[in-house]
Amino acid sequence: MDTQTADAPPLAQDSATAGRLKPNSLGVLGILFFVLSAQAPLTGIAGAVPLAVAIGNGAGAPAAYLASGLIVLLFSVGFVAMGRHVVDAGAFYTYIGKGLGRLAGSGSAAVALFAYCSIQAAMYGLYGATVTALVEHYAGVHVAWWIWVLITMAVVQLLGVAGIEMGAKVLTVFVVAEFSILLVFALVTFVRGGGPEGLGFTDSFSPSAVLQGAPGVALMFAVASMFGFEATAIYGEEAREPRKTVPRATYLSVVVITGFFAFTSWMLVSAHGASKVMADAGAALGSGDATTFVFAPVTDQFGAWVGDVLPVLLATSLFAGVLAFHNSANRYLFSLGREGLLPHRLTALNRRHSPWVAGTVQTAIALLVILPFALLGKDPVLTLFSWLSGVAVLAMMLLYFLTSVSVVVFFRRSRADTRPWNTLVAPTLGALGIAGAIWLIVQNFTTLIGGDRATALWLQLTVPVVMALGVAAARLRQRRAAPSSS
């Protein structure tokens, strides 16, 4: 495996001793389930759709999911083309380093690790609050949210150590459960001809519907819901026939995620009625429990028992997402250790070829991030979840943009693939779409995190600061290595 850039000396690595992740462990469906778990579909639908409708473009919100899917699909064309030449658990930073140089790759490695650890910590916050509410409702016992988080951290660590197959089996159960209930709701609503005002296709997908209200805000939340699809490349080393499996899993995940969010959100709009949906979403947000916008029509369709099941599925959805991002982050740490950018100890594998040291470090990072919020008594949803999920989305969109630019530069330089659409046109269009999405996210960041402008500003600044620290660390490492290489 070649992981050096086109214009830099090879990175320090010893593949024979550093070890490799277990090959032939995952097929297309296995990788797909990891990606869908990272999406936390019920969390995305119950959390993002009410916001996209209420403060975005109302009944036109489903079209925003189609638009975001198109942007990501264009990005995926170049992403897949690069993946045919680079198979590495580091994915983003390796891709960026190939085209934009070692320093840019090192900076993006820091940003990628920051993004995955941030979104996992954010999901821990929402998960802790959700489980606390469930236990209090059914058992009448109040247990602090952070206690449930600590218990779950231990479980996630054990599953990570157990190996990729065990994690895939656990995630499959949770993903199938949450996907099924939402998809059945959407299909039944569609077959019945929609809600009180019919299916309302033109109310959601006509140009006038798409452009009403604040379409940029809806697009922002739709793009945020795509977070995690890029994990297909992270599992390349563990995939069966990675040059076939990873591209198939990438395209399939984008299509499935886009179709699921667009179709389900359309049926939710239909269930409420296009003329009332914005008011209903606003009322749900005003009540302090936005999930009622989604849970109420599903309960109306299937009965009261679903009202008891959905909060449980929300908790399992979050657990699946936490586990998926744990696996993604520890593979980044493993890859950085193998490349010599972090201590070599991170490459240690157990008998199941699982990066157990990297996983332990990832769990420790999550603990350190969450601890201040617990000690200071901060609300886990309004601060931990809202702040860090916003930061993670911004960081990941920066990586998407840099990767698209790197794809164009790499193939123009190497001529390893001369297909214009795959290596120039699609990546360029994807980069332009992602740049527009980044602008929308920055402009509406206060809304995204649910905080004030000052908080939004310093949270946004963490992303370029992390990038700069990654570059500075790489420069320092180069200077220390220079005397010995001369």
Q: What are phi and psi of 20, to 5 degrees?
A: -130, 155
Two structure tokens written together for 277: 């949906």
| Mean predicted confidence (pLDDT) in 328-344 | 81
b (16+ CB within 10 A) / e for 16-54 = eebbbbbeebbebebbbbbbbbbbbbbbbbbbbbbbbbb
Two structure tokens written together for 89: 């658990």
Q: What residues contact 59, with CB distance under 8 A and at least 6 apart? A: 53, 200, 203, 204, 209, 212, 269, 274, 277, 278
Band the pLDDT of 291: cuts 50, 70, 90: confident
Beta bridge partners of 26: 239
Candidates 373, 346, 431; CA nearest to 79 is 431
Two structure tokens written together for 93: 């930073």
- Per-residue pLDDT tens digits for 182-236: 999 999 999 999 889 999 899 999 999 888 888 888 888 888 777 767 666 666 6
Position 271 scores a pLDDT of 95
Position 405 scores a pLDDT of 94
Band the pLDDT of 461: cuts 50, 70, 90: very high
- Per-residue pLDDT tens digits for 66-91: 999 999 899 989 888 887 776 555 56
Q: How many angstroms separate the CA atoms of 330 and 305, rounded?
A: 38
Span of 85-89, 242-246, 384-388 with lowest mean pLDDT: 85-89
CA distances from 243 to 99, 220, 348, 415 (A): 20, 32, 26, 18
pLDDT at 3 over 70: no
| Mean predicted confidence (pLDDT) in 243-247 | 74
Band the pLDDT of 166: cuts 50, 70, 90: low
Q: Quote the mean pLDDT of the chain.
A: 83
pLDDT at 241 over 70: no
Between 343 and 24, where is the model more confident? 343
CB of 431 closer than 8 Å to CB of 362: no
How far the first Cα of the chain sits from its last, in Å, is 26
Position 424 scores a pLDDT of 93
Q: What is the pTM of this model?
A: 0.83
Position 194 scores a pLDDT of 87
Two structure tokens written together for 167: 């994690």
User: What percentage of the chain reaches a pLDDT higher than 70?
Assistant: 85
- Per-residue pLDDT tens digits for 26-63: 666 767 766 776 667 888 898 889 988 998 899 999 99
Residue in the structure block whose two tokens are 């490492």:
477
CB of 321 closer than 8 Å to CB of 126: no
| Mean predicted confidence (pLDDT) in 321-348 | 82
Q: Based on DSSP, count helices (H) and strands (E) in the chain, helices before strands.
A: 22, 0
Residues in the chain: 486
pLDDT at 2 over 80: no
Between 465 and 348, where is the model more confident? 465
| Mean predicted confidence (pLDDT) in 419-444 | 91
- Would you tell me how many other CB atoms lie within 10 Å of the CB of residue 303? 9
Q: What residues contact 113, with CB distance under 8 A and at least 6 apart? A: 329, 332, 333, 336
DSSP H helical ranges for 84-144: 92-100, 102-139
Candidates 11, 30, 118; CA nearest to 335 is 11
Position 37 scores a pLDDT of 66
Query: Coil, strand, or helix at residue 348?
Result: coil
Band the pLDDT of 355: cuts 50, 70, 90: confident
User: What percentage of the chain reaches a pLDDT higher than 90?
Assistant: 34
Band the pLDDT of 351: cuts 50, 70, 90: confident
Beta bridge partners of 239: 26
Beta bridge partners of 195: 198
Position 382 scores a pLDDT of 82
Position 102 scores a pLDDT of 85
Span of 22-36, 87-101, 238-252, 333-347 with lowest mean pLDDT: 22-36
DSSP-derived letter for residue 398 is H
| Mean predicted confidence (pLDDT) in 230-245 | 66
Beta bridge partners of 198: 195
